[in-house]
Amino acid sequence: MVKPQFGLLLLWAALRRRWNALAAGALTLAVGGAVSLTVFGLRNNLDYLGVLAGLSRKAQSHYANQSIFGLLNRAIFNGENLPYHPYVYPPFVPWIYAVTLATTAVLVLVALMYPWRERAGGMADLAAIGVVSVVATPMAWEHHYGVMLPVFVWLWFAVYRRGVGSAWALALAWVLIADFLSPLNFFAAVPVANLLQSYMYFGALLLLGLLLRVRTASEP
């Protein structure tokens, strides 16, 4: 209800014919939507759509925004990086907006259209769209990455603990996503090197790649 990007999970459920999950999500939205209309009224709910549209064009550039939008703005020193002011947004840059949209489209298509075959609708498939729901948005704060914890748990017990593949890449993804690597903020003012501040974003892309490579047929 508070993170609209997770609506991709409903689209995933429809495409994978997970009707029970789709019905549960639709019912939750219906109940939550009714409560929101009752408490805040129609005008405020409609205005929220405008807020979302605005954020897609002018998301914040603070280093905690671990998205391609934040990465590119920090790379060209557009907006703030280390300081944080909740009402400060970087000037709009058309090509960054275009690249963000293109990246979003590619990531969503990869997750939804990947040839999962017999694994379609399985845990790796669900985990992939969950990861993409976070990293494909223009504003992905560090705490949004918390939804990836169960993905690591499942990958370890269902795949890597059984000796299928090397766990080193999984360990690297965990370090990048689960840790606050504050020394990398020393590169905030260094061209190119400040890309390292987006370590969580890169860790999530690595995690997505690992999910796409899962080949075990014994998924729960």
pLDDT in tens, 164-214: 667 899 999 999 999 999 999 999 999 999 999 999 999 999 999 999 998
Is 84 part of a structural domain of the chain? Answer: yes
Is 88 part of a structural domain of the chain? Answer: yes
Is 24 part of a structural domain of the chain? Answer: no
- Let me know: does 134 contact 145? Beta carbons within 8 Å: yes
Is 3 part of a structural domain of the chain? Answer: no
Q: What is the pLDDT of residue 50?
A: 87
Which residue has better confidence, 108 or 53? 108
Residue 78 has pLDDT above 90, yes or no: yes
Q: pLDDT-derived band of residue 217, with 50, 70 and 90 as boundaries?
A: very low
Q: Tell me the residue type at 216.
A: T
Residue 58 has pLDDT above 90, yes or no: no
**Which domain range does residue 105 map to?**
59-213
Window from 16-25, 56-65, 161-170, 184-193 with minimum mean pLDDT: 161-170
Is 208 part of a structural domain of the chain? Answer: yes
Is 9 part of a structural domain of the chain? Answer: no
Is 85 part of a structural domain of the chain? Answer: yes
DSSP codes, the chain:
---GGGGHHHHHHHHTT-HHHHHHHHHHHHHHHHHHHHHHHHHHHHHHHHHHHHHHHS---STTB-SHHHHHHHHTT-S-SSS--TT--PPP-HHHHHHHHHHHHHHHHHHHHS--GGGTTSHHHHHHHHHHHHHTSS--BGGGGGGGHHHHHHHHHHTGGGT-S-SHHHHHHHHHHHS--GGGGGGTTSTTGGGGGGHHHHHHHHHHHHHHH---S---
Is 114 part of a structural domain of the chain? Answer: yes
* Count: domains in the chain: 1
Q: What is the pLDDT of residue 49?
A: 86
Which tokens belong to 10?
A: 């409903």
Q: CA-CA distance, 194 to 184, in Å (whole number)?
A: 8
Neighbouring C-beta atoms of residue 73, cutoff 10 Å:
27
Mean pLDDT of the chain: 92
